[in-house]
């Protein structure tokens, strides 16, 4: 695995927006010496992540598989800046996310990360259209209503803009979630078992949708799945246990 | 999509709970608005010149009792003052209008107070204008009374008309001393309704007005002779007779003749007064001086009458006690018997002499009439605001040092009452409604705070989408503010709707006229106050949102 250390360190000192259109972006996601433990109720530390190196190139699509409780979601949270590793570097699009303060990290997440969850996490009070707009509301780039309509059209829900999540099928809900994740033109898409709650008929559709959208937009995709069938469709499949050795921290 | 829209969506998501909590605030605010409106009406009736007069003149005593009884018709009047004092006030050049009122009787039906007065009462606005150009509010009378009034005509207030079902042409009798007292009795004389007042929102709505002439003609409404003389002497005896006039102790005239002279002077005075109404300039001044001379002459006659009758009464009493003493002897001497005969003859003569005044009188003479109070409006030269008020202050001060009467600016004791008592009640009620609103606010707090557990995931999703901690805190705060502000606005509207609906019922039941569109300045502070309250309420649930652990909440 390879890491562009110069670029990663430069990200610490430079506004992250300046790297958005780097003409030769070789690496989109770097994890270097990432360590993460949780404190258990009995006071003991529970090691979850110990990753020496992990890299994704720009536009690369990787399926991450592993056992439950293996740290997959924690890894995604660290990449998204929702959680912070105890040590190490998480560099996304040239910006060391874990070195950012909370407010810039929130903004970074809004502008560069797209997230798709297993349970969709759509807000029930908002229509499909409003859920997509909500994704744009926190980015600081403003709300682009036409783009929201286009994205819903892209996921095949152009005719269900005003429907609320409760009025949509699970497959449709996940498609809204995909549209919302694409709302801010992210650099990295993090998908946490996006097909696990979708019926078999829709699994293919949702997966195709995510992959096609990422391919067309050169978005780096890191997709967590338990499904071998899903993983088999990816050109690169990473088993977390092969590069994450938390037991060594114990 | 801005934060307000997001907050509104969250409120809509919990529509029932949100509506109920906002309704709680609305009901609290509704009560507050009702209290503000009702007390605003009460305050105005206490603080503004609630009658169109500068002064109320009555006997010395509690100024509050004088104003409450005469203006607001609450409680018993202090006492009466001589009619002649009313004449004095009326004739004072500083006085523009003086209206006498007599009280003490009530209607048999409904127990409404009877006010005996003259037509001038209805010519003065019952509520003065706020500015010199504002004519104020004048009485509107329906019925033949407008064209002229006879002695036994009556005008009834709107509430009396509706409550008793009286209308033009109906007749009624006066009850002396009130319908519910042991000493009350119904007068025989009947009064006829010839005028009905339009609602005024003042105590006039609950009053029956009769003409003074009719009132005095009712048996028992003239003062007892001795009382009249004593009052007359107390008020005018010493003061007015100081100066050039000397008594002629040799002049021996009967009591009846003296009274005829007094009545003759009164008739002259009335003629002079009528002439003065038409006169201007020097002629008016001359008539005024002539009136002063007539009054003095009348006082002299009255004082002589007073001295004569006092002397005769006193002699009568002393002779009666002497006769009783002699009669008590077991075996009176011949000398004592002769003295007893002499006493009997003298007593018989004296009794005849003392009875003479009663015998010759058909209507009570002016000095035997009394009034309960006099409403006074001072002269107000055009373009010189404040003159009337200044005159009234000077006039009241004069009356304080001179006669047995007092002149009171009706606003002063009422303001005192308002500040010391009614104001406190208002304050207590106001704070109670504020507490109700705060309790409603706590309801909003509980509602939002309870919802936080269910909304952890929602908040975590927004945070995952890039919302800052401050953003989710603001959204929660906005929810509280929107709920409180909506409740506040709805409450203000509901309050006025309630007042609008209740106004006719309140008017029918109590006679209190409520302007349903009355807006109190304090209402302007309700919504901003609620926004402040909501900001405080929203802090704790806002902080809960602020502290939400995103990773943990997403994993739940």
**What is the reported pLDDT for A44?**
86
- What percent of chain A is helix, strand and coil (3-state, nearest 5)? 40, 25, 35
**What is the reported pLDDT for B275?**
87
Among A117-121, B26-30, B235-239, B380-384, whose mean pLDDT is lowest? B235-239
Both B497 and B462 in one domain: the answer is yes
CA distances from A15 to A55, A104, A161, A186 (A): 22, 10, 36, 16
**What is the reported pLDDT for B494?**
92
- Measured in residues, chain B has a length of 556
Pairing of the two strands B114-117 and B208-211: parallel
* CA pair distance B84, B236, nearest whole angstrom: 9
Q: Is B217 on the interface with A (CB under 8 A)?
A: no
Both B375 and B266 in one domain: the answer is no
**What is the reported pLDDT for B182?**
57
* CA pair distance A117, B539, nearest whole angstrom: 30
pLDDT in tens, B524-537: 888 888 889 888 88
Both B123 and B264 in one domain: the answer is no
Phi and psi at residue A238, to the nearest 5°: -115, 130
Both B385 and B484 in one domain: the answer is no
- Out of B9, B461, B466, the one facing A139 most closely (by C-beta) is B466
Cβ atoms of residues B125 and B137 within 8 Å: yes
Task: Please state the domain count of chain B.
Answer: 3
Chain B stretch 465-484, residues whose beta carbon is closer than 8 A to a beta carbon of chain A: 465-469, 471
**What is the reported pLDDT for A22?**
47
* CA pair distance A225, A221, nearest whole angstrom: 12
pLDDT in tens, B362-373: 456 666 788 999
Element (H, E) at A135: helix A128-137
Q: Which residue of B has its CA nearest to A121?
A: B461
Q: Which residues on chain B are in Cβ contact (under 8 Å) with A143?
A: 1
CA dihedral B421, B426, B428, B432 (to 10 degrees): 170
**What is the reported pLDDT for B223?**
65
Average pLDDT over chain A, rounded to whole? Answer: 84
* CA pair distance A123, A116, nearest whole angstrom: 13
Q: Which residues on chain A are in Cβ contact (under 8 Å) with B1?
A: 130, 133-134, 136-137, 143
pLDDT in tens, B455-478: 888 899 999 999 999 999 999 999
CB within 8 Å: B465 and A73 = no
Q: Which residues on chain B are in Cβ contact (under 8 Å) with A133?
A: 1
- Residue A110's CB is within 10 A of a number of other CB atoms, namely 25
* CA pair distance B455, B461, nearest whole angstrom: 10
Both B215 and B87 in one domain: the answer is yes
Spatial CA neighbour of B57 closest among B482, B304, B408, B402: B408
* CA pair distance B446, B21, nearest whole angstrom: 9
**What is the reported pLDDT for A14?**
36
* CA pair distance B551, B556, nearest whole angstrom: 9
Task: Work out the average pLDDT over B325-337.
Answer: 84
Q: Which residue of B has its CA nearest to A103?
A: B468
CB within 8 Å: A82 and B6 = no
* CA pair distance B96, A66, nearest whole angstrom: 104
**What is the reported pLDDT for A120?**
86
Q: Is residue B178 predicted with pLDDT exceeding 90?
A: no
Q: Is A124 on the interface with B (CB under 8 A)?
A: yes
* CA pair distance B255, B310, nearest whole angstrom: 11
Both B22 and B59 in one domain: the answer is no
Contacts of B143 (CB under 8 A, 6+ apart): B155, B168, B193, B194, B195, B196
Q: Which residues on chain B are in Cβ contact (under 8 Å) with A117?
A: 554
Contacts of B29 (CB under 8 A, 6+ apart): B437, B487, B488, B490, B491, B492, B494, B495, B526, B530
Task: Work out the average pLDDT over A9-22.
Answer: 38
Q: Which residue of B has its CA nearest to A112?
A: B466
Q: Is A117 on the interface with B (CB under 8 A)?
A: yes
Q: Which residue of B has its CA nearest to A127?
A: B9
- Strand-pair partners of B127: B137
* CA pair distance A108, A80, nearest whole angstrom: 9
Q: With pLDDT > 70 as the criterion, what percentage of chain B qualifies?
A: 87
Q: Which residue of A has its CA nearest to B7?
A: A125
Both B115 and B32 in one domain: the answer is no
Q: Is B12 on the interface with A (CB under 8 A)?
A: yes
Q: What is the 3-state secondary structure (H, E, C) of A153-191?
A: HHCCCCCCCCCCHHHCCHHHHHHHHHHHHHCCCCCEEEE
* CA pair distance B236, B4, nearest whole angstrom: 79
> What is the torsional sign of CA B307, B309, B312, B314?
negative
Q: Is residue B149 predicted with pLDDT exceeding 90?
A: no
Q: Is residue B103 predicted with pLDDT exceeding 80?
A: yes
pLDDT in tens, B37-71: 887 777 776 665 556 788 999 998 888 899 888 88
Q: Is A55 on the interface with B (CB under 8 A)?
A: no
Q: Is residue A3 predicted with pLDDT exceeding 50?
A: no
Both B367 and B255 in one domain: the answer is no
Chain A stretch 147-176, residues whose beta carbon is closer than 8 A to a beta carbon of chain B: none
- Backbone torsion region of residue A215, taken as left when φ is above 0, otherwise alpha when ψ lies between -120 and 50, otherwise beta: alpha
* CA pair distance B9, A137, nearest whole angstrom: 14
Q: Where among B321, B336, B360 does a domain terminate?
A: B360
pLDDT class of B384 with cuts at 50, 70, 90: confident
CB within 8 Å: B458 and A80 = no
- Residue B19's CB is within 10 A of a number of other CB atoms, namely 16
pLDDT in tens, B257-283: 777 787 788 888 888 888 888 888 888
* CA pair distance A33, A248, nearest whole angstrom: 13
Phi and psi at residue A67, to the nearest 5°: -75, 160
Both B355 and B325 in one domain: the answer is yes
**What is the reported pLDDT for B25?**
86
**What is the reported pLDDT for A8?**
34
> In the 8-state DSSP scheme, what is residue B102?
B
- Strand-pair partners of B171: B192
CB within 8 Å: B467 and A77 = no
User: CA of B530, closest CA in chain A: separation in Å?
Assistant: 26
Q: Is A121 on the interface with B (CB under 8 A)?
A: yes
> What is the torsional sign of CA A55, A61, A65, A70?
positive
Spatial CA neighbour of A199 closest among A225, A160, A171, A223: A171
Q: Where among B321, B345, B360 does a domain terminate?
A: B360
Both B128 and B197 in one domain: the answer is yes
Parent domain of B130: 53-225+363-410
> In the 8-state DSSP scheme, what is residue B199?
P
Both B217 and B278 in one domain: the answer is no
User: CA of B1, closest CA in chain A: separation in Å?
Assistant: 6
CATH superfamily of the A5-249 domain: P-loop containing nucleotide triphosphate hydrolases (3.40.50.300)
Give me the sheet containing A113-116, strands edge to edge. A113-116, A188-192, A220-224, A61-65, A236-239
Both B185 and B300 in one domain: the answer is no
Task: Work out the average pLDDT over B192-205.
Answer: 89
Q: Which residues on chain B are in Cβ contact (under 8 Å) with A85?
A: none
Average pLDDT over chain B, rounded to whole? Answer: 82
Q: Which residue has the higher pLDDT, B42 or B245?
A: B42
Q: Which residue has the higher pLDDT, B57 or B416?
A: B57
Spatial CA neighbour of B539 closest among B474, B465, B483: B474
Cβ atoms of residues B232 and B302 within 8 Å: yes
pLDDT class of B244 with cuts at 50, 70, 90: very low
Spatial CA neighbour of B234 closest among B62, B59, B404: B404
pLDDT class of B357 with cuts at 50, 70, 90: low
* CA pair distance B537, B34, nearest whole angstrom: 25
> What is the torsional sign of CA B53, B57, B58, B61?
positive
Task: Work out the average pLDDT over A34-56.
Answer: 88
CB within 8 Å: A125 and B13 = yes
- Out of B461, B467, B551, the one facing A106 most closely (by C-beta) is B467
Q: Which residues on chain A are in Cβ contact (under 8 Å) with B461?
A: 121, 123
């Amino acid at each position: 695995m390879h890491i562009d250390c110069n670029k990663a360190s430069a990200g610490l000192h430079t506004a992250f927006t300046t790297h958005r259109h780097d003409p030769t972006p070789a690496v989109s996601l770097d994890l270097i010496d990432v360590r993460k433990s949780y404190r258990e109720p009995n006071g003991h530390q529970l090691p979850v992540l110990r990753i020496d190196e992990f890299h994704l190139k720009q536009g690369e699509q990787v399926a991450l598989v592993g056992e439950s409780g293996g740290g997959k979601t924690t890894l995604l949270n660290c990449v998204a800046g929702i959680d912070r590793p105890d040590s190490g570097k998480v560099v996304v699009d040239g910006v060391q996310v874990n070195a950012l303060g909370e407010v810039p990290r929130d903004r970074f997440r809004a502008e560069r990360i797209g997230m798709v969850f297993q349970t969709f996490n759509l807000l029930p009070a908002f229509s499909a259209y409003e859920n997509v707009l909500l994704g744009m509301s926190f980015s600081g780039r403003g709300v682009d209503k036409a783009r929201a309509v286009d994205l819903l059209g892209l996921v095949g829900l152009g005719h269900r803009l005003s429907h609320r999540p409760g009025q949509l099928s699970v497959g449709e809900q996940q498609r809204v979630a995909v549209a919302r994740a694409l709302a801010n033109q992210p650099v990295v898409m993090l998908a946490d078992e996006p097909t696990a709650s979708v019926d078999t008929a829709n699994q293919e559709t949702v997966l195709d949708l995510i992959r096609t959208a990422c391919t067309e937009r050169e978005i780096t995709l890191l997709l967590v799945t338990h499904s071998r069938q899903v993983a088999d469709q990816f050109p690169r499949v990473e088993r977390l246990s092969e590069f994450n050795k938390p037991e060594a921290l114990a | 999509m801005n934060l307000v829209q997001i907050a509104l969506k969250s409120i809509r998501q919990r529509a029932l709970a949100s509506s109920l909590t906002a309704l709680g605030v609305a009901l609290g605010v509704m009560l507050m608005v009702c209290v503000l409106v009702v007390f605003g009406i009460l305050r105005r009736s206490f603080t503004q010149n609630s009658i169109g007069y500068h002064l109320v003149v009555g006997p010395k005593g509690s100024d509050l009792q004088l104003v409450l009884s005469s203006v607001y018709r609450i409680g018993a009047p202090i006492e009466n003052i001589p009619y002649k004092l009313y004449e004095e006030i009326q004739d004072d050049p500083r006085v523009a209008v003086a209206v006498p009122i007599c009280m003490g009787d009530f209607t048999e039906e409904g127990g409404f107070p009877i006010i005996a007065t003259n037509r001038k009462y209805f010519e003065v606005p019952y509520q003065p204008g706020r500015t010199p150009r504002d004519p104020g509010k004048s009485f509107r009378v329906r019925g033949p009374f407008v064209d002229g009034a006879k002695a036994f005509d009556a005008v009834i207030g709107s509430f009396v008309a509706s409550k008793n079902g009286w209308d033009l042409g109906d007749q009624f009798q006066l009850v002396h001393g009130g319908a519910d007292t042991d000493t009350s009795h119904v007068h025989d004389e009947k009064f006829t309704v010839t005028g009905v007042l339009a609602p005024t929102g003042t105590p006039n709505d609950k009053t029956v007005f009769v003409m003074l002439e009719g009132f005095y003609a009712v048996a028992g409404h003239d003062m007892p002779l001795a009382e009249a003389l004593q009052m007359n002497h107390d008020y005018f005896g010493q003061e007015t007779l100081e100066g050039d006039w000397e008594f002629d102790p040799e002049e021996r005239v009967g009591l009846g003749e003296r009274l005829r002279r007094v009545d003759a002077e009164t008739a002259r005075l009335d003629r002079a007064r009528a002439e003065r109404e038409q006169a201007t300039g020097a002629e008016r001044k001359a008539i005024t001086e002539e009136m002063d001379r007539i009054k003095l002459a009348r006082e002299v006659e009255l004082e002589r009458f007073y001295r004569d009758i006092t002397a005769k009464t006193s002699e009568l009493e002393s002779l009666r006690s002497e006769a009783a003493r002699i009669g008590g002897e077991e075996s009176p001497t011949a000398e004592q018997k002769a003295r007893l005969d002499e006493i009997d003859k003298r007593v018989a003569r004296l009794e005849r002499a003392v009875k003479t005044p009663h015998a010759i009188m058909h209507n009570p003479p002016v000095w035997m009439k009394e009034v309960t109070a006099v409403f006074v409006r001072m002269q107000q030269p055009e373009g010189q605001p404040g003159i009337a008020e200044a005159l009234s202050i000077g006039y009241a001060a004069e009356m304080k040092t001179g006669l047995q009467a007092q002149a009171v600016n009706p606003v002063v004791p009422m303001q005192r009452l308002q500040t010391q008592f009614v104001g406190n009640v208002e304050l207590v009620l106001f704070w109670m409604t504020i507490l109700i609103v705060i309790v409603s606010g706590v309801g909003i707090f509980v509602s939002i705070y309870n919802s936080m557990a269910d909304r952890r995931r929602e908040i975590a999703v927004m945070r995952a989408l890039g919302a800052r901690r401050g953003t989710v805190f603001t959204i929660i705060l906005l929810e509280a503010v929107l709920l409180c502000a909506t409740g506040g606005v709805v409450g203000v509207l509901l309050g006025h709707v309630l007042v609008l609906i209740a106004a006719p019922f309140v008017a029918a039941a109590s006679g209190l006229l409520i302007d349903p569109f009355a807006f109190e300045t304090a209402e302007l502070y309700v919504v901003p106050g609620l926004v402040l309250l909501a900001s405080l309420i929203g802090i704790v649930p806002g902080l809960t949102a602020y502290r939400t652990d995103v990773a943990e909440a997403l994993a739940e």
